[in-house]
Amino acid sequence: MSNSSGILPLNSGDNAWMMTSSALVLLMTPALAFFYGGLVDHKNVLNQIFLSFICMGIVLVQWALFGFSFAFGPPVSEGFGSFQWSVLRFGEVNNADYSLTFPLLTYCMFQATFAVITPAIISGKDTFWIFLLLFLFFRS
């Protein structure tokens, strides 16, 4: 059932499920940190946990500033978004392409959780040799 603009009305159940899914995926990052901590030598456990947790802070800030806009914003060319939605300036609540029955900010949060866990998964190979500044530069 759609309104005159063709966009479905917001559904609180869809929004609640997307937010619950986002929270569960975000919980996977600390779980991944402790999993990797169990795989490494005892002297590298804190380093591995720290690398996974630092991904949460850095990537969430990058995603909010320009990542979502570049990935999902109005296209400049085929496959590349613009910086029109940078710093989460959507100018719209609903988007027929990405979020039919829940707000676009909910979709942004859902995608941000996957942007967070991806470098945390990659950090599993960096157990012994990675330096913090190199890690921060690589994740940027």
At residue 1, the pLDDT reads: 53
Give per-10-residue mean pLDDT for the chain (140 aa): 65 95 94 87 81 87 92 84 87 79 92 92 69 67
Strand partners, 77: 80
- Do the domain assignments include residue 2? no
Domain count, the chain: 1
Range of the domain at 58: 12-139
At residue 79, the pLDDT reads: 76
At residue 73, the pLDDT reads: 86
DSSP state of 44: G
* pTM score: 0.82
- Do the domain assignments include residue 3? no
3-state DSSP assignment of residue 38? helix
